[in-house]
Structure 1
Amino acid sequence: MANHFAELDGVFAALADPTRRGIVRQLGRGAASVGELARSAPIALPSFMKHIRALEASGLVITSKTGRVRRCELNRGRFALIDDWLSDQRRLWEERTDRLEAFVTDTEEDT
């Protein structure tokens, strides 16, 4: 379970940066080369590559190199980790709000 949380921390840390979220958004439309992705970022290519490496280290992006071109694509399966966590959180908060609603309703009936 601790490994699960470490993986989740890495994914959320990677998504914490707006440049990396922009890359993920672009890759949501399909695979692209680093050059294509970098055109929309107002930073130098070496800095941009640090963002690609962070996304790759988190498992959100898979890169492959053919000749001189490095292509990136989303590892869509990795987003299941986030979806699972969000589902757990949603269930937890729905249970809490249901208990609060029941408490408020019972309190109103008693008065």
Structure 2
Amino acid sequence: MASMFEVLAEPRRREILDLLRDGERLVGDLVEQLALAQPTVSKHLKVLRSAGLVTVRQDAQRRWYRVRPDPLTEIDEWLAPYRRMWTNSLDALERHLETMDDD
């Protein structure tokens, strides 16, 4: 199975997750929003499902997709040290700018 980074490297998959962030959507809604062919959207949804990033709920003939944020923890944990680095850098910049204001 592909790593979470490989799955999310595809911009259209990230767009699908962004659309699902607000709630469940039908495949047709995603097709319309993304202006892609239905088979293409279904292919991306299959990859996202395999990675555990989306779930599907069947309601008669309709399939509702929703995001599962739990698997994104791997990426969040990987980004944590970089967030600290940026926070430290921005704090240092703020201190520097404050000393410039005092002059």
Task: Give the TM-score, by structure 1 length.
Answer: 0.68
Large movers: runs of 4+ above 6 Å: none
Q: Is the counterpart of residue 25 in structure 1 residue 18 in structure 2? A: yes
| 2:77 aligns with one of 84, 96, 108 | 84
Q: CA RMSD, aligned part only? A: 2.3
Match of residue 36 from structure 1:
29
Gaps of 5+ in 1: 1-5, 99-111
> Is residue 65 of structure 2 the alignment partner of residue 72 of structure 1?
yes
Identity %: 30
Instruction: State how far apart, in whole Å, the 1-side matches of 2:5 and 2:43 are.
Output: 16
Paired with 1:70 and 1:54, the residues of 2 have a C-alpha distance of 16
CA distance in structure 1 between the partners assigned to 2:82 and 2:11 by the alignment: 24
| 2:30–2:41 CA contact under 8 A, matched in 1 | no
Q: In structure 2, what is the Cα distance between the partners aligned to 1:82 and 1:31?
A: 23
Stretches of structure 2 lacking an aligned partner (at least 5 in a row): 90-103
- Contact conserved, 1:11 with 1:59, CA < 8 A, in 2? no
TM score, norm. by length of structure 2: 0.72
